[in-house]
Amino acid sequence: MKALAEIRGEVEKACDLLQDPTPAAVDGSALALGRAISELGEWRGAFEGCDKRANRLALEEAARLRTAVRRAGRLLETAAQYHAKWRLALESLCAGYTASGAPAATARSGRLCLRG
């Protein structure tokens, strides 16, 4: 299934970028994953109503795509943990500590994070 292989390629591109989770790499991976999500939505609409068990190639490629998506998820979690630890270190260096011993909060820049 060429379409699924191309979608997996976008996910793998995101994984490659996340090997070194710089802010630019994380942004680039977000773009690649966005393209993969969009393409998967289009592919899914075209594949809707087909007998999924009858298309062995599509099932095999879907399994490879699932593996790539899980890898991307693990890499994103690792990147988030890495940056969260650095943020805590930066806050403690720049703003000191609270009375309870926790790092004091610092003003954050204009990045947006949505969770759903």
The pair of structure tokens assigned to 101 is 């011993």
18 is a domain residue = yes
SS3 category, 113: coil
Is it the case that residue 9 has pLDDT exceeding 90? yes
Helix-strand-coil split of the chain, %, nearest 5: 70, 0, 25
Q: Whole-angstrom Cα distance, residue 106 to residue 96?
A: 9
pLDDT of residue 1: 55
Q: Whole-angstrom Cα distance, residue 66 to residue 47?
A: 17
110 is a domain residue = no
Is it the case that residue 27 has pLDDT exceeding 70? yes
pLDDT of residue 12: 97
Q: Model-level pTM?
A: 0.72
Q: Which domain holds residue 40?
A: 2-95
114 is a domain residue = no
107 is a domain residue = no
115 is a domain residue = no
Domain count across the chain = 1
- What confidence tens digit (pLDDT) does each residue in 61-110 have? 989 999 999 999 999 999 888 888 888 787 777 777 788 887 777 766 65
43 is a domain residue = yes
The pair of structure tokens assigned to 37 is 């999500």
Among 8-12, 24-28, 55-59, 65-69, where is mean pLDDT lowest? 55-59
103 is a domain residue = no
113 is a domain residue = no
